A = this chain, B = another copy of it.
């Protein structure tokens, strides 16, 4: 076949594939299915089998906060009686870890998911996804904490909170998670690092059930915890985002990114047309805004699955919807506009559901196209939290981070090579 005809064929195929992925991203319905513990959702967790954030990583390579989170998980599951026992289990390799993404799950930050951790479950017609309930920022296993208070809170969340929340989910009308996030964008949240209005909306949706509940004392405590934790809605948002991106996955030739994720060592992406293959590069540190007293040299490079938000078209890709977040991550409202404009240049489409009021209700950019990233030289930006490099030291910052461009270029080349081989 002549070169021009081949290029034309490849181009037409890629365009159809892109549109197919875009349509899935933009039209898949996702509802809140239930709140339960992780072992009810996947057989990939067990007493010594935990999930982790990001692309695959060997136990020997895990960063400090992930080690802290595994220690926390072993204590939480009763597999270790104390920190020393937990460390011995890790150091002897008597535990398996595998990516959340391969289990239909997502874990913010370290992303360690153990069998009895509480999760929010989202469901589309084709996929079921889940993410651990958010523990707040005052000591959290996902940031590598494993102190008694953190674990006591997690136990309460896995029992009383799961019962109260699942009762609320089952009692009401099905909660449309795409609508929840779309409404969040109208209420000043970008729904990755700012979800305070979305969390309030969740409380409002659950309130009738909380009031009716026979578990009155627990319900009151759950409502109070939620109202004091502005990130509570995050797992609901990212489980939804994962269901959207799964719907766009595995379209032959499609250059649309279906996962961005990091494990603190490596940042990786999956692309629709290349299936489950990870394209990776070293995790970036970025230029985070640190909490008072923290030092940049103490930071763990970017880590976590929550950048599925940006992959699905919100978070940093909806930054103009949430000007109040900018001071939290160390920027200005004007920069937010610049980021979103830039992302429009590397995305294949515009959301018809995630609308930005201040942009005259224009949709957010959706469908990161690896070819466009390669052609423009512009890599995506994400909003993220940052953990201390040592186990047990928790959260030390937040920022807007530019992810490495190399995985996008590699994926673009792989797609092009695949097309030429056909």
**Which residue of B is nearest A220, CB measured?**
B211
Complexed CA–CA distance, A216 and B197 (Å): 25
* Residues of chain B with a CB closer than 8 A to A224's CB: 208
**Which residue of B is nearest A201, CB measured?**
B200
In the complex, which of the residues B201, B208, B220, B357 contacts A220, with contact meaning CB atoms closer than 8 Å? B208
**Which residue of B is nearest A358, CB measured?**
B323
B-contact 0/1 string along A298-335, CB 8 Å cutoff: 00000000000000000000000011101100001110
Task: Answer whether residue A360 sits at the interface, using C-beta atoms and an 8 A cutoff.
Answer: yes
In the complex, besides A186-B324, A197-B200, A210-B211, 5 extra interface pairs with C-beta distance below 8 angstroms are A186-B188, A203-B203, A203-B204, A211-B211, A326-B357
Q: A219–B211 contact, CB under 8 A? A: yes
A216-B227 CB under 8 A given contacts A197-B187, A204-B203: no
* Residues of chain B with a CB closer than 8 A to A207's CB: 203, 207, 210, 220, 223, 227
Q: A204–B188 contact, CB under 8 A? A: no
* Residues of chain B with a CB closer than 8 A to A360's CB: 332-334
Task: Answer whether residue A32 sits at the interface, using C-beta atoms and an 8 A cutoff.
Answer: no
In the complex, which of the residues B188, B205, B208 contacts A357, with contact meaning CB atoms closer than 8 Å? B188
* Residues of chain B with a CB closer than 8 A to A223's CB: 204, 207-208, 211
Complexed CA–CA distance, A119 and B203 (Å): 25
Task: Answer whether residue A149 sits at the interface, using C-beta atoms and an 8 A cutoff.
Answer: no
Interface residues of A in 338-397 (CB under 8 A from B): 357-361
Chain A interface residue bracket vs B? 35 or more
* Residues of chain B with a CB closer than 8 A to A197's CB: 187-188, 197, 200
Q: How far apart are A167's CB and chain B's nearest CB, in angstroms? A: 13
Task: Answer whether residue A212 sits at the interface, using C-beta atoms and an 8 A cutoff.
Answer: yes
Task: Answer whether residue A122 sits at the interface, using C-beta atoms and an 8 A cutoff.
Answer: no
Complexed CA–CA distance, A219 and B197 (Å): 22
Task: Answer whether residue A196 sits at the interface, using C-beta atoms and an 8 A cutoff.
Answer: yes
Complexed CA–CA distance, A417 and B219 (Å): 63
**Which residue of B is nearest A324, CB measured?**
B357
Q: B211–A327 contact, CB under 8 A? A: no
* Residues of chain B with a CB closer than 8 A to A208's CB: 220, 223-224
* Residues of chain B with a CB closer than 8 A to A204's CB: 200, 203-204, 223, 227
Q: How far apart are A228's CB and chain B's nearest CB, in angstroms? A: 10
Complexed CA–CA distance, A326 and B220 (Å): 37
Q: B211–A216 contact, CB under 8 A? A: yes
Complexed CA–CA distance, A334 and B201 (Å): 28
* Residues of chain B with a CB closer than 8 A to A327's CB: 361
Complexed CA–CA distance, A204 and B213 (Å): 17
Q: How far apart are A206's CB and chain B's nearest CB, in angstroms? A: 9
In the complex, which of the residues B187, B205, B326 contacts A196, with contact meaning CB atoms closer than 8 Å? B187
Q: How far apart are A217's CB and chain B's nearest CB, in angstroms? A: 9
Complexed CA–CA distance, A205 and B227 (Å): 8
Complexed CA–CA distance, A188 and B357 (Å): 9
Interface residues of A in 58-90 (CB under 8 A from B): none
**Which residue of B is nearest A211, CB measured?**
B220
Complexed CA–CA distance, A259 and B322 (Å): 32
**Which residue of B is nearest A337, CB measured?**
B358
**Which residue of B is nearest A199, CB measured?**
B204
Q: How far apart are A176's CB and chain B's nearest CB, in angstroms? A: 15
* Residues of chain B with a CB closer than 8 A to A324's CB: 186, 357, 361
Q: How far apart are A181's CB and chain B's nearest CB, in angstroms? A: 14
Q: How far apart are A393's CB and chain B's nearest CB, in angstroms? A: 30
* Residues of chain B with a CB closer than 8 A to A333's CB: 357-360
Complexed CA–CA distance, A357 and B334 (Å): 11
* Residues of chain B with a CB closer than 8 A to A216's CB: 211-212
21 CB-based A-B contacts, threshold 8 Å: A186-B188, A186-B324, A187-B188, A187-B196, A188-B188, A200-B201, A200-B203, A204-B204, A204-B223, A207-B220, A208-B224, A210-B211, A211-B211, A323-B357, A323-B358, A324-B357, A324-B361, A327-B361, A333-B357, A333-B358, A358-B358
